[in-house]
Amino acid sequence: MASSSIPPPKAVLFDRDGTLVRDVPYNGDPRLVAPMPLAREVLDGLRGKGIATGVVSNQSGIARGLLSRSQVDSVNGRIEALLGPFDVWEICPHGTEDGCGCRKPAPGMILSACRRLGIRAAEAAYIGDIGSDMEAAEAAGSRGILVPTPLTRHQEVEAAAEVAADLSAAVALLLGLAPAGNRQ
């Protein structure tokens, strides 16, 4: 039984690079995909509980001409081969200067993923590794949990409402298996 009074989410959305898989800047090569520790186990656990999973990822390399959408799709296919199927994918191909409503920290991709899943944004959680991930979750009205990496800035960690040491700890927070607000 969950120890938290917060109900578990109906969906858990994840940032891709640095959260589900090792961050390889502008990766267009599926052979370079390496899952983060415990990623498969965490995702399988969520799926086993009937909780939808999704990926929400900025891919500005497309706008910059460093990657094609086909390359991004190939990398995403490899991620699914390694980590199992996701219920929804949202990819922003725009650059920072494009001013779109989907690029994090804007909430567009999270809101779109929730619409596609048939849930309210408040019924979803978003796990990411940088401040713009947490800003997007907050702007969408979703619960955000930061899982820092060595590249996460100290200010981003301090600003996050909830911080977990790894994906397993983040999901434990979401499922009420760890104290809410736990800054592991």
Cβ-contact 55, 14 below 8 angstroms: yes
Q: Which two tokens stand for residue 70?
A: 């086909």
Q: Which two tokens stand for residue 77?
A: 């296919």
Q: How do beta strands 11-14 and 52-58 pair? A: parallel
Residue whose C-alpha is closest to residue 82's, from 103, 55, 121 = 55
Collect all residues with Cβ–Cβ distance below 8 Å to 43 and sequence separation of at least 6: 53, 83, 84
DSSP 8-state class, residue 107: S
Residues with active-site annotation? 15, 17
C-alpha–C-alpha distance, residues 153 and 115, integer Å: 31
Cβ-contact 113, 9 below 8 angstroms: no
C-alpha–C-alpha distance, residues 166 and 153, integer Å: 16
Collect all residues with Cβ–Cβ distance below 8 Å to 119 and sequence separation of at least 6: 10, 11, 52
